[in-house]
Each structure stands twice: as structure tokens, then as C-alpha cells.
A and B are shown apart, each in its own frame.
Chain A
Amino acid sequence: MNLVFEAGRITGNLVVLPETEQRFEDDMVNFDFPRERSLKLKEVMGYDRHRIAGERTCVSDLAGFGLRTLAERGLLDVASLDALIVVTQTPDYWIPPTSCVLHGALGLREDALCLDITQGCAGFIVGLMEALQWLRQPHIRKVALVTADVLSRRISPKDRNSYPLTGDAAAITLVERAEPGVQVHGCLKFDGKRSAALQIPAGGCRLPSSPETALLQDCGDHNLRALDHLRMDGTAVFNFVMNDVPPMIEALLAAAGRTRDDIDYFLFHQPNRFMLRKLAERLQVPYERVPDWVTGTWGNSNSVTIPAALAGTLGAGAQTNRYTVCFAGFGVGLTWGGLVMPLERLAFNDVVDYREP
């Protein structure tokens, strides 16, 4: 569905990374593959390093650290927040919502709204659309969009297909009321028939976690996973990205009245370098305008990868320069969507390390 928003713009972006970094060479000892095959994969996919949260670190720890950092730096008065949206698939608890946990930890106003959104690779897009919708309300002027996941907790370290690319992270993206005339075009699509392509089979009500669901099994591809772990049909996901995402982006650009050349950066979800380069080729956009470095440097942190690409690619440049960007997320659901929007005069666009207590 094509969507148009007129109420808001991004005014700041901060990414929080756990300080613990793992290297692909260290992960390799867990894989049941010859060293040479794993090294070849590293070269092609761009695997190198990824950030992993400590065993006790939760989404609200990473996000709370980010929000407090902004407050300490004088970049955010938490009392001014009218709404807090948390996008995560690894909440602190089943009940209550992580946004409410953060609301309490930060002492937000009682009339500051809270919402959790269960979304993955397209979560930043879905959350940003929700923030833009809320900003149409007369009493909502500032929304903190938190994207955060500690997905490494649900990936088997013996799964060469998923573990080396996974990273933990959080991002706080401030979205505020814009001056009239700022128009943001979006597109969002779903196909639940293909939802099993990315799935954690156990741990929900359908199949509760048990000693049996924690048992590692060879899935026939030399990767050991339990039913409690993420399962990804790599071929199905790749075909989905190549077949469904480019037409969505082309339609989005057309709806926004833009051409590929009008877009300074295509800030996409970061599955791996190979897929992003094939996407760039398909869209006929130079690699330089489709950043693909996030997974190999920080890991694929699910809904955080787009704000991570924004912070790491544009950095402080977004505080002084004006860019037109195309965001796009695609994955879990299956969900795919994008937004074309201007970025200018961000108050901050930075990255901080989270130190485990």
C-alpha cells in the first residue's frame, strides 16, 4: 500500500552497540564446515565482526542507556517526549510491553504514549510510519522511536548461516513535528503465506519452550539448531528480496515523483553484502549509494540496521548537510516497505558503546 505522511521528520539518531565484539574467525570453530569454505563465505558475504550483548543484557538496557546518554548530553529532555515506540522481537518480558518498562525506568509523563511493535527487518520502516501517523495528533510533537534487539540470544552459535551475521544493538531515532509542506512517501507490503521463511518455531504459545525444543539438531545442512532458534530459508529469503523489493522501491520512487538519481543514499536493511550488491545492481544504483558495510562491522541487528546505516554512513554530516534518502526494510513477516524522505539538520547522528555493568 502506498502511503503519504505530512506531519514529521527525523531530528536525531543514536545507535547503541554492546562493546563486546566477536570475530568471524573465532566463530568458525563452532561450525561443522571446512575452514576454507567458511573463509570463502566470509569473503563473499562480507562477514568480519559483530557485536554481541552480554547474557543478562536486555533491550531496555541498551535503549535506556541510549536515552540516558542523550539526556546527559543535553540532546533530549525525556519529559518532552509525547510518545515512545519500541520495535523489537526480543522483548524483556512477555508481559509488560518493553516500552512500558522503559517508560517507568526513565520516568516519562503519564500522558506519554507507549507502544511495542513486533517486527524485524522492516521494523524501522513500520515504526517510523507509526511515529509519523501519531504526529498528526495535535498534542504529539515528539516521538522517540526505539528499535532494539538482542537476537543473538535466539541464534544457534553452531549455525553458520545465521550466527556470524547476527548482531545486537539498539537505536533511538527522534521524530518530531515538521513544518508544513514536508511530504514523506511510503510503501508497505506483507505476505503472511511466506511467514515460515524466517521463524523461531518454539517459545511462543504454539510450541512452548521445553528441554526438547532446546535440543540441537542437524537440519541436513551441517548447521545445528534447536527449535528455540531462528530458522531461515536462505533461498526463499534471497528470492523474495530479489523479486519483490525492487518493484516496491521503483513504485515508491514513482509515487514520490523521484528518480534514482534524486536519492543521495539508499539506506536499506543490512542482511549481508552479497544481497545488497545484487539489489544495487538490480536497481541500477552504484554500490557507493547503497551502504552494505553494517553486517560485516556490527552485525545484522534486525530492525536496527537502517538507523545503524544512517549513523555510520552519514555520521555528523547529517547535522549540517541535506540529503534525500530512501529507506527500505525487508524480511520477517514477510514484510517489505520503504520511505523516501529528506534528512537535514539532525541534532545528532552518532554511535555509542554500551558497557556491561
Chain B
Amino acid sequence: MRLLTDIRPDADFSASRDFLKDGMLDSFDLVALVSGLDSRFGIAIPGVEIVPENFGSLDAIEALVRRQLARR
């Protein structure tokens, strides 16, 4: 969540059920988020995983990170 609020300090993520549909993250915010997750968790999220369904909610983001951690 801290990564998200670093990228969009003006957005209330807790009030959203879908960050992208609610306009809280645009494609360039996704780039910043992926870069932050890569360096924070020491992973390299594949480009093909950078799709809206993996970034719509905290659960989806967490599942994505867990998949990448499991692949290490």
C-alpha cells in the first residue's frame, strides 16, 4: 500500500474496488508501481504480466508478487 500511496498520494485506494477502473492508476503509474515492486522484492515482473487484471486491487498485486517470489 505504501508503494501505491507514494505513486498517488492524492488517491484513496482503500475506497476503491478496482484501482484502474476507478482511474487511480494510469498506465504510467503502473510502470512506476512495477519498477517499485521489482526493486522492493528483488523480482523482475515479466512484461506479459503487466496487464490490468494484475493491478486492480491489493489482493491482485499481492498475488502477482507472490507468483514472482515463488519463481525465484
Instruction: Bits for A201-239, please: 1 = Cβ < 8 Å to B, else 0.
Output: 000000000000000000001000000000000110011
The B11-41 residues at the A interface (CB cut-off 8 A) are 26-29, 31-32, 34-35
CB distance from B54 to the nearest CB of A (A): 12
- In the complex, given contacts A234-B27, A234-B28, what are 7 additional A-B residue pairs having Cβ atoms less than 8 angstroms apart? A37-B32, A45-B31, A235-B52, A274-B34, A281-B47, A282-B46, A282-B48
B47 and A278 form a contact (CB under 8 A): yes
Please state if B10 and A281 are interface contacts (CB–CB under 8 Å): no
Q: B: which residues have CB within 8 A of A?
A: 6-10, 26-29, 31-32, 34-35, 44, 46-48, 50-52
Contacts of A41 in B (CB 8 A): 28, 31-32
Q: Are A40 and B7 in contact (CB under 8 A)?
A: yes
Q: Which of A241-294 contact B (CB under 8 A)?
A: 241-243, 274-275, 278-279, 281-282
Q: Please give me the residue from chain B that is nearest to A277 by CB atom.
A: B44
User: At the interface, is chain B mostly helix, strand, loop or mixed?
Assistant: helix
In this complex, the member of A44, A160, A239, A243 whose beta carbon has the largest number of chain B beta carbons within 10 angstroms is: A44
State the total of A-B contacts with C-beta under 8 angstroms: 52
Between A and B, 9 residue pairs with Cβ closer than 8 Å are: A37-B8, A37-B32, A41-B28, A41-B31, A160-B28, A239-B50, A242-B47, A274-B35, A278-B50
B8 to chain A, nearest CB (A): 7
Residues from chain B with a CB closer than 8 A to the CB of A36 are 9
* A34 interface residue (CB < 8 Å to B): yes
B32–A239 CB distance below 8 A = no
Chain A's closest residue to B49 (CB) is A242
- Verify B47–A238 contact, CB threshold 8 A: yes
A274 in contact with B8 given A241-B47, A281-B46 (CB within 8 Å): no
Which residues of the partner chain B approach A281 to less than 8 Å between Cβ atoms?
44, 46-47
- With CB as the reference atom, state the residue of chain B lying closest to A282: B47
| Set of chain B residues within 8 Å of A305, measured between Cβ atoms | none
Which chain A residues lie closer than 8 Å to B26 at the CB level? 221
Q: How far is the CA of A40 from the CA of B7 in the complex (A)?
A: 8
Q: A13 at interface (Cβ–Cβ under 8 A)? A: no
Question: Which A residue's beta carbon lies closest to that of B20?
Answer: A235
With A221-B26, A239-B51 as contacts: A274 and B46 at CB distance below 8 Å: no
Nearest opposing residue in chain A for B45, CB measure: A278
Q: How far is the CA of A242 from the CA of B51 in the complex (A)?
A: 11
Question: Which A139-161 residues sit within 8 Å CB-CB of chain B?
Answer: 160-161
- Candidates B28, B35, B44, B47; contact of A161 at CB < 8 Å: B28
Taking CB atoms, residues of chain A closer than 8 Å to B28 are 41, 45, 160-161, 234
Note all chain B residues with C-beta closer than 8 A to A242. Answer: 46-48, 50
Please state if B32 and A40 are interface contacts (CB–CB under 8 Å): yes
Q: In the bound complex, how far is the Cα of B49 from the Cα of A242, in angstroms?
A: 9
Q: What's the nearest-Cβ distance from chain B to residue A111, in Å?
A: 47
How many angstroms between the C-alpha atoms of A234 and B9 in the bound complex? Answer: 23
For B6, the chain A residues whose CB sits under 8 A away are: 40
**8 Å CB contact of B32 from A44, A235, A243, A282:** A44
CA distance A40 to B35 in the complex (A): 10
A337–B26 alpha-carbon span in the complex (Å): 29
* Residue ID in chain B nearest A274 by CB atoms: B31
* Chain B residues with CB under 8 A of A239: 50-51
C-alpha spacing A37/B8, complex, angstroms: 7
Which B residues touch A161, using CB under 8 A?
27-28
Flag A31-52 by CB within 8 Å of B: 1 or 0 each: 0001011001101110000000
How far does the alpha carbon of A281 sit from the alpha carbon of B34 in the complex, in Å?
Answer: 14
Q: A44 to B29, alpha carbons, bound, how many Å?
A: 10
Which residue of chain B is the closest to A272 with respect to CB atoms?
A: B31
Task: Tell me, in angstroms, the Cα distance from A278 to B46 when the chains sit together.
Answer: 7
Closest to A34 in B: B10
